[in-house]
Amino acid sequence: MVSIQRPRLLIIEDNVPFRTILRVMLDSKFLISTAENGSVGYRRAKEFCPEIVLVDRDMPVLNGIGFLRKLRKNPELSHVPAIMLTSASSEEAVLSSVDAGANDYLLKTEMNKKILLRKIRRALKNSRVEV
């Protein structure tokens, strides 16, 4: 019997209830690690070696923009796709996220499991990891 290992997903989100919702929503399809801010998330990324990251844009200590800049500068992690999660819908928020290295952007107010999974699958497919 062939077992398929689930892709490693890092969720970086400071809001505990939302982080828990994401974990429950995605737990059956991914091996998940979580962090409460970008600083902890960066350390966890180096240890966990995720295949994809979901990162909140607005967090204390190190926000999602700062996290992505650090991630993209690290040769061992720069290839990891990242989806920015936020409630900020302004053009500036979207552009700054993309400029920092986000592969995709998802408004928390518009998120549901189907949309999130499709975005994750597309990001993984573009980086050659199948779900």
Q: What is the model's pLDDT at position 126? A: 82
Q: What are the start-end ranges of the E strands in 71-113?
A: 82-86, 104-107
Q: What is the model's pLDDT at position 77? A: 95
CATH number of 8-126: 3.40.50.2300
Contact call for residues 66 and 38 (beta carbons, < 8 A): yes
Q: What is the model's pLDDT at position 57? A: 93
Q: What is the model's pLDDT at position 56? A: 95
- Mean pLDDT of successive 10-residue segments in the chain (131 residues)? 77 96 94 97 96 94 95 95 89 87 89 90 78 49
Task: Give the residue extent of every domain in the chain.
Answer: 8-126
For the stretch 96-105, contacts whose Cβ atoms lie closer than 8 Å and that sit 24 or more positions apart, written own/partner, are: 96/65, 97/57, 97/64, 97/65, 97/68, 100/64, 100/65, 100/68, 100/69, 100/72, 101/68, 101/69, 101/71, 101/72, 102/55, 102/64, 102/68
Which pTM does this prediction carry?
A: 0.91
Q: What is the model's pLDDT at position 129? A: 52
